[in-house]
Amino acid sequence: MKQKQQWFKYVALFFIPALVLGVSAGVFAAEVKIGALNDVTGATSDVGKDYALGIAEAIQYVNDNGGVNGKPIKLYQFDYGYRIPEALTKYKLFKRLGAVAVLGWGTGDTEALSPTITKDKMPYVSASYSAHLTNPKKTPFNLFAATDYSTNARAAITAWFDTRWKKHPDYGKRKPKFVCSYHFAHPYCSAPIKAIKDQAQILGFEIGPDQNVSLVAIDAKSQVLAMKDYGADLVWHGNTTMSVSATVRDAFSLGLKADHIVNCWGFDENLPRLAGKAAEGVMGAPRCAFFGEDVKNMDKVVEYAKKYNPGVPLEKRLTHTVGAWANVMALWEAMNRADKAGDLTGEGILKKGFETLRNYDVGLGVAPLTYTPTDHRISGTVSIYEIKNGKFHVVERVDLKSRWPEKWEKEWLGW
Amino acid sequence: MSTTWLPCGDYHQSYREDHAWFQTAFIKGKMFILAVVLLVFVPWLADSYWISVCNQVGYTVLGALGVQLLIGFCGQVTLGHAAFIAVGAYTSTLLILEFPWPRFILDIGLAYPISIGAAAVVAGFWSVLFGLPSARVKGFYLILTTMAAQFITVDFIITQYVSQIGGRGQAFSLPPGTIKIGPWVIDSDIKVYYMMIVLSTLCIMGIANLLRSRAGRAWVAIRDNDISAEVMGINIIKYKLLAFFVAGAIGGVAGAFWISNLAAISPEHFTWFWSLWLVGVILIGGVGSIHGAIFGSIFMVVVMELLQLAVMPLAGEYPKLLMDFLFVKEAAFGLAICIFMIFEPNGLAYRWWQVKNYFNLWPFSY
């Protein structure tokens, strides 16, 4: 009995002071507080882990370089396992801790929290590049430093049309047949489907039945056979890398004579590793440079990856680290500007920070950033890559804004 | 027989007294204090974060009540309850966004309250549909049929078809001002909190009343031994389906409540894991007890949040601690279930009952 009481005392001695400190965590206010929601255990963890590492490293870099005009950033970074109720409570916790902005993760949490962050005027810089978040009339506080999924998808299908279909023997004789393969239940996967089908119609494609492939699929043979029956010339993959590699591998082994284009979260350094030969010729829109690629500011990304996560070999690091850096760099610049203007609040970060950026170059292979009060699409120019001998090469830079200026301005915003 | 301890020498003289809600002045006083705490002190003392944690508890209670009814009172194991919550949430959302309400209904703010009722009815009937196999199968086989509810409802019907209504891809977003009860626009955590208290109280009272009715007794009989229950003349198919209806209806209310909390909805909000989590809630809280659903929800939400706050001061030294917290939480969830199964199989509700009895019988509580 005595022993039991002793244990209780030890537990109480640790937890009660910790709890008091934790509950009152919001009172220490010398820092700029930022929340981060990441997925390292959920449905999108295959790409989320690397992104989460990138966020932590980039914030270290910001703090090593003076933070926000001399004020260090305090990062509260949580894994929410891609569960929406978890994301909601974590977001409320960030608010309670006094966070001025949140670095979010997927389309699930971003779209679910969108009404709330709009009401709270909380900048939410996420890795969900859904075009639904680019119209400031509807979602003014949702931001990201990348071209959106729909723009990427339109650019990728256009690049395929320009570089592959025009050389096809059937070019001019029949319409190319196009199929979308993605996990219907996930908003991330389905976000650009309407746009890519619209672009397919603009380019004169014939659109086949969508194929539902789970984000955690390790086999997609039945879906590939359906694509084969349809006679697809081109397949759009909207999932993340594990699932895309499984589909591409099955397509290779079942002899599907189609080309593949992949959304950014399925088009990373792991794709050629996992799919091997089957990944040869696959095209994609990675939204930023690949890890270690020779572009501006990549040296810092590599340096901090070595310094803060030496346990993760550099050859295992992915483009998603770079994407995380891009978001942090954009938020950093916006916060610096807002702070200089004396308004480091959610609204200040948006109006006096992000919306003052004009062709701001964060490097890292990201298109220069421009946010206006009426349009949060950063750019209309997208670099399309393809895999050749296991390496990524740029095949075309598609400028949607100059090719379809009217549609870009009047039709395509926000979807 | 009444389960309330009465002062020595006091006896009930009618069934009415025996079944009364609050049988002594002391109990009435306790209930009054509880009402004051919930309606005055919590909203007054708690900040927005803790209010949102309370809302999360309320959502979990509403979800777990249906699971408790099916598993704890009727013995019908379910692993697909998130599907019925989803049906309720989508019914309510679609009625608010798409239904051509007459102007006066919108003006007097009745669209959302009506949609909550409709959500309960639709989710109830949807639940009955997946309860039909319970007429023929039980045990593991029934678990599989309820899991089918999850996959057919959420992954197939809602994702493929319902989510596409209005051409908006996957997620529905409810514009500000659309979630409204009378003149009361539900646009802050505190308003959601009050709504949660009202809905939870109504659902708890509804279930508590049902349990002391003919239906409640039939459910318990079916749980204890369905063959004996049938021999006694209970129509077990009818009462099993009634249990599915009521459980689904409360799930529907939970779903309709959830949309007020987020003002957005997508199929991802209703994963199979949530169904599993609700079963964990009643296992920890105590199977076969309304208190169990409440205590389990408080444990699973509040204790986890407190644990998180306790590790936060260490985050300066060990930043990865916060990132790894979900692992800690998952491990704590699994561990808690194991510990409760071994050391307190009747859950927190039983412990509460013991504590209450200790004080009720004091100083002769041996």
CB atoms < 10 A from the CB of A169, how many?
6
Task: Give B-chain residues touching A56 at CB under 8 angstroms.
Answer: 319, 323
Residue A173: exposed, middle, or buried by beta-carbon count in 10 A (0-12, 13-18, 19+)? Answer: exposed
Q: Is A79 within 8 Å of B159 when comparing Cβ atoms?
A: no
Q: Please name the residue of chain B whose CA is at the shortest distance from the CA of residue A39.
A: B323
In order of A247, A315, A372, B296, the CA distances from A217 in angstroms are: 8, 25, 39, 34
Q: Does A312 touch chain B (CB under 8 A)?
A: no
Q: Is A77 within 8 Å of B313 when comparing Cβ atoms?
A: no
A45 lies in the same domain as A174: no
What is the total residue count of chain A? 415
- Does the global pTM surpass 0.90? no
Q: Amino acid letter at A197?
A: K
Residue A130 domain-assigned?
A: yes
Q: Is B268 within 8 Å of A92 when comparing Cβ atoms?
A: no
Q: Quick one: CA dihedral B335, B341, B344, B347, positive or negative?
A: positive
CATH of the domain at A250: 3.40.50.2300
Task: Give B-chain residues touching A40 at CB under 8 angstroms.
Answer: 323, 326
A326 lies in the same domain as A402: no
Task: Give B-chain residues touching A24 at CB under 8 angstroms.
Answer: none
Count of domains for chain A: 2
Task: Give B-chain residues touching A115 at CB under 8 angstroms.
Answer: 173-174, 176, 262-264
Domain span including residue A313: 19-147+292-378
Q: Is B269 within 8 Å of A190 when comparing Cβ atoms?
A: no
CB-based contact A279:A389 (threshold 8 Å) = no
In this predicted structure, what is the pLDDT of residue B175?
A: 81
Which of B48, B155, B173 minimises the CB distance to A115? Answer: B173
- Each domain of chain B, given as residue ranges in start order, spans 46-271
Residue A7 domain-assigned?
A: no
CB-based contact A210:A180 (threshold 8 Å) = yes
A308 lies in the same domain as A393: no
Q: pLDDT tens digit string along B52-75?
A: 999 999 999 999 999 999 999 999
A277 lies in the same domain as A179: yes
C-alpha of B343 from chain center = 25
A181 lies in the same domain as A238: yes
Q: Does B164 touch chain A (CB under 8 A)?
A: no
Strands lying side by side in the sheet with A73-79: A73-79, A32-38, A101-103, A124-125, A142-143
Which segments of chain A have a pLDDT < 70? 1-29
Task: Give B-chain residues touching A415 at CB under 8 angstroms.
Answer: 169
A311 lies in the same domain as A373: yes
A330 lies in the same domain as A280: no
Which of A21, A112, A193 minimises the CB distance to B262? Answer: A112
Q: Does A98 touch chain B (CB under 8 A)?
A: no
Residue A78 domain-assigned?
A: yes
Per-residue pLDDT of chain B (366 residues; tens, 9 = 90+): 456 777 777 788 888 888 888 888 888 999 999 999 999 999 999 988 899 999 999 999 999 999 999 999 999 999 999 999 999 999 999 999 889 999 989 889 899 999 999 999 999 999 999 999 988 888 889 999 999 999 999 988 988 788 777 665 556 778 878 899 998 999 889 999 999 999 999 999 999 999 989 999 999 999 999 999 999 999 999 999 999 999 999 999 999 999 998 888 888 889 888 999 999 999 999 999 999 999 999 998 998 888 888 888 877 777 677 777 777 777 888 888 888 888 888 899 999 988 888 887 777 766
Which of A19, A116, A194 minimises the CB distance to B309? Answer: A19
Task: Give B-chain residues touching A92 at CB under 8 angstroms.
Answer: 48-49, 52-53, 189
ipTM score for this prediction: 0.80
Tell me how far apart the alpha carbons of residues A129 and A267 are, in angstroms, rounded to a whole number.
14
Interface of B with A in 305-324 (CB under 8 A): 305-306, 308-315, 319, 322-324
Tell me how far apart the alpha carbons of residues B26 and B342 are, in angstroms, rounded to a whole number.
35
User: How much is the CA Rg of chain B, to the nearest whole Å?
Assistant: 21
A107 lies in the same domain as A170: no
Residue A292 has which token pair? 């270690």
A193 lies in the same domain as A131: no
Determine the distance in angstroms separating the CA of A91 from the nearest CA of chain B, rounded to an integer: 9
Residue A415 domain-assigned?
A: no
A184 lies in the same domain as A332: no
A262 lies in the same domain as A318: no
A28 lies in the same domain as A140: yes
